[in-house]
């Protein structure tokens, strides 16, 4: 991504902060998987959004109007011995030349220098709770500043403000550069779903289907944006199923929720298909209701509509569809009033999408649903889930779990479905299953 993109973001945030303030953002810490094995490192999204810096043990500081430079980055020193084991480090010099910092210093100096900068500030922007260890250090610095009182050359800032609201509002509106990355992430996910559909057949295991996604993501320079959900038969009705170890049986539905992350931006795509390439009558009927709800929700994604409007459209279609299938009883008005469909459709129709798969940004402003605006990106993902043993429901409907999910951009005159190249029509879906073995 163009370095100017990150500089623009920093300037935007500093304009919102105003002079006399300081924003402090720590890098993500490495996380242990077990014993001495770490999870693959992934930078904190807020930190990366402003810095493009992907190393741990770093702290970014924004101080509008600061004489020594408005953007200060504390990072690890170069260390040939450690770099032999763990890979190249940028070091302070490259943090300036390659990552646009006005000044860069060793992370070992943060305890000496950062408290002084804080003491020269009237307002501190920082979010407590996201980085517990750094929270303790910051609290210690503030306590020390306070205890020095008026005798000290510095003072305790007058205001301590969570940075989330300001930074996350910026992240909600995607730039051209961001959308290029998101479209690429979407294309890779689409190709991965196509690949998985083409190899699908009874007798495979869910993890073998998952492997096709991993292959496609990594072969195109991406990585999974979350743990893939590959749920067959009864597992299609488990919303956050991750075991992915069941054998695919003839007659099963397979629900796969799998997205790609590319250049720190996520896609989030779900398709549901029959393992043997042919929907049963009941599977197709439920699938069609979900597809109708999906299309109704997408039709409501346009500027000026409240965030909740696509969800309400989906709820109405799902409720009517379940009533028509005999899975809900009563008048439509009463079923809508009581939210009766939540028995089978228990989640929201979508969420913000961006650097995080469940991205940041307020859904309500002053207790009112936020209005959709151009540049916002979200998912549309209605579903119906009928687990085995559902009271009062015939066995022919059991183990039918269907979700259809696409990634959608709000445009000036409507919306763009960024993952539209992956079919949703049931006939087209059937035609794609098992083609690699034919």
pTM, 2 dp: 0.95
What does the pLDDT read at residue 149? 59
What CATH number is given to the structural domain containing 322? 3.90.230.10
Q: Is residue 225 located within the same domain as residue 211?
A: yes
Q: Is residue 183 located within the same domain as residue 59?
A: no
Q: Is 218 a catalytic residue?
A: no
Q: Is 381 a catalytic residue?
A: yes
Interstrand relation of 21-26 and 123-125 (parallel, antiparallel or unpaired):
parallel
Separation of alpha carbons 274 and 253, rounded Å: 4
Which residues touch 201 (CB under 8 Å, ≥6 apart)?
248, 275, 276, 433, 434, 437
Q: Is residue 194 located within the same domain as residue 300?
A: yes
Q: Which of 206, 300, 405, 430 is catalytic?
A: 405
Q: Is residue 214 located within the same domain as residue 331?
A: yes
- pLDDT tens for each residue of 369-405: 999 999 999 999 999 999 999 999 999 999 999 999 9
Instruction: Show the low-confidence residues of the chain (pLDDT under 70).
Output: 148-154, 438
Give the total number of structural domains in the chain: 2
Measured from the Cβ of residue 184, the count of other Cβ atoms closer than 10 Å reads: 19
Under 8 Å between Cβ of 60 and 6:
no
**At which of 170, 193, 211 does a domain end?**
170
Q: Is residue 195 located within the same domain as residue 133?
A: no
Separation of alpha carbons 355 and 434, rounded Å: 33
Q: Is residue 165 located within the same domain as residue 244?
A: no
Q: At 231, list the tokens.
A: 């749920």
Separation of alpha carbons 97 and 93, rounded Å: 6
- pLDDT tens for each residue of 333-355: 999 999 999 999 999 999 999 99
Q: Which of 31, 218, 278, 358 is catalytic?
A: 358
Q: Which domain holds residue 213?
A: 173-437
Q: Is 405 a catalytic residue?
A: yes
Q: Is residue 356 located within the same domain as residue 253?
A: yes
Separation of alpha carbons 57 and 76, rounded Å: 6
Q: Which of 89, 246, 294, 403 is catalytic?
A: 403
DSSP string, 132-200: HHHHHHHHHHHHHHHHHGGGSSS---SEEE-SHHHHHHHHHS--HHHHHHHHHHHHHHHHHHHHHHHH-
Q: Is 184 a catalytic residue?
A: no
- Positive or negative torsion for Cα 295, 300, 302, 306: negative
Q: Is residue 239 located within the same domain as residue 253?
A: yes
What CATH number is given to the structural domain containing 62? 3.40.350.10
What does the pLDDT read at residue 145? 86
Q: Is 287 a catalytic residue?
A: no
Q: Is 36 a catalytic residue?
A: yes
**At which of 170, 196, 224 does a domain end?**
170
- pLDDT tens for each residue of 233-262: 999 999 999 999 999 999 999 999 999 999
Q: Is residue 324 located within the same domain as residue 288?
A: yes
Q: Is 240 a catalytic residue?
A: yes
Q: Is residue 241 located within the same domain as residue 154?
A: no
What does the pLDDT read at residue 255? 99
Under 8 Å between Cβ of 72 and 23:
no
Q: Is residue 153 located within the same domain as residue 183?
A: no
Separation of alpha carbons 17 and 27, rounded Å: 20
SS3 383: strand
Q: Which of 15, 33, 176, 240 is catalytic?
A: 240
Separation of alpha carbons 241 and 239, rounded Å: 6
């Amino acid at each position: 991504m163009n370095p100017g993109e990150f500089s623009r973001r920093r300037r935007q945030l500093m304009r919102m902060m105003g002079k006399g303030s300081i924003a402090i953002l720590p890098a993500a810490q490495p996380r242990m998987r077990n014993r001495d094995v770490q999870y693959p490192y992934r930078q904190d999204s807020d930190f990366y959004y402003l810095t493009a810096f992907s190393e741990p043990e770093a702290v970014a500081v924004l101080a509008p109007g600061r004489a020594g430079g408005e953007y200060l980055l504390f990072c690890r020193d170069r260390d040939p011995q450690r770099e032999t084991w763990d890979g190249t480090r940028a070091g302070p010099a490259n943090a300036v030349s390659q990552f646009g910092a006005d000044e860069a210093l060793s992370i070992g100096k943060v305890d000496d220098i950062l408290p002084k900068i804080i003491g020269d500030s009237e307002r501190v922007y920082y979010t407590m709770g996201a980085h517990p260890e750094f929270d303790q250090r910051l609290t210690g610095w503030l306590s020390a500043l306070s205890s020095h009182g008026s005798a000290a050359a510095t003072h305790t800032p007058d205001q301590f403000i969570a940075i989330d609201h300001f930074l996350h509002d910026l992240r909600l509106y995607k730039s051209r550069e961001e959308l290029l990355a998101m479209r690429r992430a979407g294309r890779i996910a689409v190709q991965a779903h196509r690949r998985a559909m083409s190899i699908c057949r009874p007798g495979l295991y869910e993890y073998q289907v998952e492997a096709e996604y991993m292959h496609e993501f990594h072969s195109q320079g991406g990585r999974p944006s979350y743990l893939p959900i590959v749920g067959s038969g009864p597992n299609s009705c488990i919303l956050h199923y991750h075991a992915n170890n069941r054998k695919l049986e003839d007659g099963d539905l397979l629900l796969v929720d799998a997205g790609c992350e590319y250049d720190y931006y996520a896609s989030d795509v779900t398709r549901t298909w029959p393992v043997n390439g042919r929907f049963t009558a009941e599977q197709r009927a439920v699938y069609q209701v979900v597809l109708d709800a999906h299309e109704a929700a997408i039709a409501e994604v346009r500027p000026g509509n409240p965030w909740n409007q696509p969800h309400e459209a989906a709820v109405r279609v799902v409720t009517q569809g379940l009533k028509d299938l005999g899975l809900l009883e009563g008048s439509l008005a009463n079923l809508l009033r009581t939210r009766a469909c939540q028995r089978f459709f228990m989640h929201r129709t979508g969420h913000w999408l961006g650097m995080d798969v469940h991205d940041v940004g307020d859904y309500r402003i002053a207790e009112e649903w936020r209005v959709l605006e151009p540049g916002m990106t979200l998912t549309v993902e209605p579903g119906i889930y009928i687990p085995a043993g559902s009271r009062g429901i015939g066995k022919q409907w059991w183990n039918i779990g269907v979700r259809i999910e696409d990634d959608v951009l709000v445009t000036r005159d409507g919306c763009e479905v960024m993952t539209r190249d992956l079919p949703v029509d049931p006939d087209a879906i059937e035609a794609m299953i098992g083609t690699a073995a034919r």
